Structure formats: C-alpha cells, structure tokens
Structure 1
C-alpha cells in the first residue's frame, strides 16, 4: 500500500508487535517511519546497544536507518517515565511530522494497561491524530496486558474487546519464523525475552496474527480494562499517578 506511515513505539524492541505489518507495508511500496519515544535506558540499560539492535531489525523489515527516529534519546525522554514528559514528547512529535509530511497511517501501541510507556505513547498518538485530522488513519496494535490474569501474568498480542473490532495481518509461515528469529536480535533484553519469547513464539506458530484495531479517542478518558493495570500490579507505577499526568495532558489540548 503506497503512502506514508508512522509507527510510534515506546522502546527499542517494541517493533516485535508489528514487525510483519511493517514489512508488508514496505513491500507494498509504503514509506514507513518508526519513532521511539523513550531512550530505552531503564535501570541503566545500554541505550546505544538497544538502538543498534532495533536498527538491525528494521533493516530486515525494509526500513532504512534514516526513517528510524530515536526521539527518546534525542530529547531525554526516560524509559519508564514518559508519562511525566508528555508535553515535551508531543512537541518533538509535531516537529517530526513537520519534517516527514502528512501521514496516511498512524500506528500506536494499544490502550491496554500493560506498560505505562505504551499507554503514554497511545495518548500522544491520539493527540496527534486529533490535531491533524488523522483519526480515521489511527490504528492500535496490542503488545501485552494483564486483563483477567492474576499477579504478574500477562497475554501477548491479545486485543482487548473494549478496543473494538479486530483486523489482523496473518503472516505466512516464512514471516512467522522470521518474526520469531528477529526477537533473538534483542540480546541486551534477554531477561525480558526469557519471559516474553515463549508466548510470542507460540502465538506465531498457532496463529501468526498481527492484530490491529481502530482507535476511539474517547477511550483514553477511561481505564484500559477492569482491575489494576499490569504495570501497577508489577510495582512500576500507581495508576493514579499515570491518570493525573494523562488528564493534565488531555486537558491542555481540550481532548
């Protein structure tokens, strides 16, 4: 599909959740850009190494380095704390769009309560789409969430029913295997992928689906799902603090 597409991502490696959709758009002639909105340095993680890992993956997907925008690094947006820097991140996004031009598709992490940075990127994407009249072009892709699961357990690439109708890109077998192999490129994140890769690989082998849903901008005024978000259950951030930052950001833009 020819056109210009922007994927907003919270961290280097989040492209795993939309990798074959990116590849399909490139194959069909699309100009695909990927913007990373935190520096990836949570807990002292190697920022430069994470950047190079994602660049290698994007190269395999057909996205050249000049279309990968590591905005979290450039603007000092911290991994784990994007909710506290929404205004600065939004200004950086506006500057990026001014450089690359109008979009035919804007893809954002789902509003799903899995990671606070994912939900913060969703907020930024909603604000950008509303501001530019791109709401019809806005799509959300799930990464992981803990809805209906106890404690730290989660589901991978599982769309929430609250987010509406699901449309999936079903990858053929060679792409399913490629998607699994690409996850091995994130060597710096091996602790994360020890828990994540088995579920992702099983999903690829059984279904091979990369789901997306349209976005209702009004959803960001409510919790992603009943119960505590996964990031709160895992002790990363109380939901009330995320909500305060989200409401202030939305109010400033009359959303």
Structure 2
C-alpha cells in the first residue's frame, strides 16, 4: 500500500514556502502527497477597500487556480481551498477541523505536516493548534516558514534552534521551488522573504497555545503602527489569538471524527 502524507497549508502558497523540497523528496520514495488549503488566502470582503470588495470572488478564483497549478508542479493532490477567508481560520475552526478529519479518514496518511507555531501569521498558528488536536490519530510533523523572533525576519528556521531534519536544497530543487513560487503570480512581491536554500522538518513540539509563540512582536504585528485599518495589515494581537485557542481547547477541540452534514456541505465536501 502506498504511503501518504497530508500537508495542511493555511493559505495557498504555504505548501511551497515550507515544504517544496520536502514534498519532492517524499514523492521520490513513492509517497503520495495531498495538500489541504485551510483558507482561500484572501481577506474577508469587509476588510478590503470598498472598491475591491466586488472583485473578491475573482481574486479567490485566481488564487485557487494558482494553488492547483502549484500542486501540479509539486505532483500533489489538491484539496480545497476551503471557503474561509484569510485571518478567519480561528472563527471557522469547526469547518477546517471537519475537513481535516474527512481527509484523514479518506487518505489514511502516515503523517500530517503543518507550519510551526511561530507567529508568522495567525492562521499558521491556528493550523498548528488544529493539527495538534489530531496527534492521537496521526503523526504530526512541523516546518518553520517565517517568524520575527529576536526582532528580525527568520525564514525556514525554528525559533528555538536549527533542530529537526535540515534539508539543504540542491540547485535543481531551488530552481523547482522558485518555479512553484512563481505560480503564485498574484502574490508576486509578497514572497521575497522566502529562502530557497534549505527547509526543515521535525515532530511537532508540545506548545502552550495559551501563550504567544515568542516574546516581542510577531511577524504579522510588524506594521500595526499604521494609524488606519489597511487591508494588508493584520491588526489582531497574539493575545487575542491565544484567547480564542484557549476557548476552543476548553470546549474540546481535539481531532474527533465529527459528523456534521451541514458543515460538510458548507465545505463543499461530499
């Protein structure tokens, strides 16, 4: 039976940022890869400029087409994206949890890969919490994408140390990763922090999700000094995210194979 891996990508492009070479090397061993995008990658309409709101559906369609093109380059099965706006994963947590449960039931993967809890984006941190709830069902591994620990931008580097398996990309792998990143034409200019020389993977750490991932500002807080609500700036604080995760944990957010037909239909799942 062919071994499989389920990659949880909070947004379309995260699968390339964190897992490009890792996916390529897994596929070389015959492993089947499936990517589940947990959000559509576009802010909710009310967060956009008024003149952008009517084009949100088109922007989602563009980002989805890019995601499927990237998945084809990666040689991976595409699942989604789920109909959840970026920065709203914590609000639509039940939908994402059900989609993960369904994917695990169908694919029976040997492991699940997810971004680390590092404050790069609030959706990344919620995805880490989501994956942790399924650790009783599947082995969970994590990769660093980007963070602002130590008040500097760090790419593909765990906050605590260069722990885990460090993968040094060959010139060919670096070229493939750049090609995959280029598939996300709508994100051109937003991915220039991504390093293409190495990636890392390790078993998911045991995090205290009631606490921010590191002291000081997180990556997504860097521009919160702007005195007006800009669509590209996330004004959420890590404390607010932690409060939501504590609430989810209190009501039991583990990876139960819940059966909610209404939520399944909303996800566009059978």
Whether the TM-score (by the shorter chain) exceeds 0.5 is yes
- Residue 34 of structure 1, CA deviation: 0.4
Q: TM-score, normalised by structure 2?
A: 0.78
User: What is the correspondence of 1:183-194 to structure 2 with a 5 Å cutoff?
Assistant: 183-193=181-191
Query: Hey, what's the Cα distance between the residues in 2 that align with 1:168 and 1:241?
Result: 32
1:129 match: secondary structure: coil
1:226 match: secondary structure: coil
2:90 match: secondary structure: helix
**Alpha carbons 1:145, 1:156 under 8 Å: kept:** yes
**Alpha carbons 2:12, 2:81 under 8 Å: kept:** no
Aligned length: 231
Which residue number in structure 2 is paired with residue 212 of structure 1?
Answer: 201
Which residue number in structure 2 is paired with residue 225 of structure 1?
Answer: 214
Cα 1:165/1:13, change in 2 over 3 Å: same
**Alpha carbons 1:71, 1:92 under 8 Å: kept:** no
Q: Indicate whether 1:251 and 2:256 are aligned.
A: no
Query: Hey, what's the Cα distance between the residues in 2 that align with 1:39 and 1:249?
Result: 22
**Alpha carbons 1:165, 1:214 under 8 Å: kept:** no
The CA RMSD over aligned residues, in Å, is: 2.1
Query: Hey, what's the Cα distance between the residues in 1 that align with 2:206 and 2:65?
Result: 33
Query: Hey, what's the Cα distance between the residues in 2 that align with 1:24 and 1:121?
Result: 23
Query: Hey, what's the Cα distance between the residues in 2 that align with 1:59 and 1:97?
Result: 21
Q: TM-score, normalised by structure 1?
A: 0.83
Deviates more, 1:84-93 or 1:212-221: 212-221
Query: Hey, what's the Cα distance between the residues in 1 that align with 2:118 and 2:206?
Result: 14
Query: Hey, what's the Cα distance between the residues in 1 that align with 2:238 and 2:128?
Result: 15
